[in-house]
Amino acid sequence: MDPTKRKTIIAGNWKMNMTPSQAAKLTFDLKTAIPLKRRACEIVLCVPYVDIEMVKTGVTGSEMKLGAQNVHFAPKGAYTGEISAEMLTECGVEYVIVGHSERRQYFGETDETADKRLLAGVNAGLKVILCVGETLAERESGVTTQVIARQTRVGLADVSREMLGNVIIAYEPVWAIGTGKTATADQAEEVCAFIRGVVAELYDSGAAEGLTIQYGGSMNAGNAAELLSKKDVDGGLIGGASLKPEEFAKIIEAAER
């Protein structure tokens, strides 16, 4: 992290967990575990759509911001099961994730759809977290950087330099998501620095230096401090541990150090 250059963001991805009543309790517990103080890092909860209203009420008076887990690229229309950027913003959502590996793996999303979704989100005033990351097979066959470069370039294909201020990239090695297998801090730093280099080539070094790049993949209270101590790791996208208030609070503390 280099808080002098860019914002540190700790975002929880609740995935398909928490009914509205469970979400209300979790938000209350998070609010207790993460007391109000002027924090250096931004805290975001990316929740299921049906929980948005409940969590919006629950985070009032805290420093936690509201996020969603996807957004469609069309403004409206015949896209059963999808959600538009305007629907999210009207509900008070500030952040959205696009291109998560679970969307790519189970729902046929691609670098191209991530780009279109990202554009729709940014155009509507959302801050968009673009996920990139290699599979285990890709890492083992030595193509990690090629994969990350392609995902970054295509994912940002329609993003102007001005728009980049509302974009965050999350490096999430697929083999580390939900597996309990974390990338080492050096592996995370290596790829996050690589992404910054790709962004510098696409735009310029100022744009790259100002971009928040998170690490995601089994980040927890035990490994967060080391991962976040790396200069190009500007926060975390956290799945499992974001559902545990004490654990999530400890990750935030690690980001504040």
Q: What is the DSSP string of 136-197?
A: HHHHHTT-HHHHHHHHHHHHTTT--TTGGGGEEEEE--GGGTTTS-PPPHHHHHHHHHHHHH
Dihedral sign for Cα 229, 192, 176, 137, please.
negative
In the set 42, 72, 100, 189, the catalytic residue is: 100
Q: Is 240 one of the binding residues for ligand PEP (CB under 6 A)?
A: yes
Q: Which two tokens stand for residue 233?
A: 């790791």
Per-residue x/- track, 13-42, ligand PEP (CB under 6 A): x-x---------------------------
Element of type H or E holding 14: none
Taking the CA of residue 131 as centre, how many other CA atoms within 13 Å lie in the half-sphere pointing to its CB?
A: 28
Per-residue x/- track, 100-139, ligand PEP (CB under 6 A): ----------------------------------------
Stretch that binds ligand PEP, among 37-45, 109-117, 148-156, 236-244 (CB under 6 A): 236-244
Q: Which of 237, 249, 251, 252 binds ligand PEP (CB under 6 A)?
A: 237
Any idea which residue has 């290699």 for tokens?
134
The SS3 assignment for 244 reads: coil
In whole angstroms, the minimum distance from the beta carbon of 239 to ligand PEP comes to: 2
Active-site residue, 72 included: no
Q: Which two tokens stand for residue 107?
A: 């729902």
In whole angstroms, the minimum distance from the beta carbon of 65 to ligand PEP comes to: 17
Q: What is the DSSP string of 48-96?
A: -GGGHHHHHHHHTTSSEEEEES---SSSSSS-TT---HHHHHHTT--EE
What residue number has its CB nearest to ligand PEP?
Answer: 239
The SS3 assignment for 19 reads: coil
Active-site residue, 42 included: no
Stretch that binds ligand PEP, among 1-9, 133-141, 192-200, 212-220 (CB under 6 A): 212-220
Q: Which of 75, 125, 178, 206 binds ligand PEP (CB under 6 A)?
A: 178
Q: Count the residues of the shown chain that bind ligand PEP, applying the rule CB under 6 A.
A: 14
Q: Interface with ligand PEP by CB under 6 A: which residues?
A: 13, 15, 172, 177-178, 216-219, 237-241
Catalytic residue IDs: 100, 172
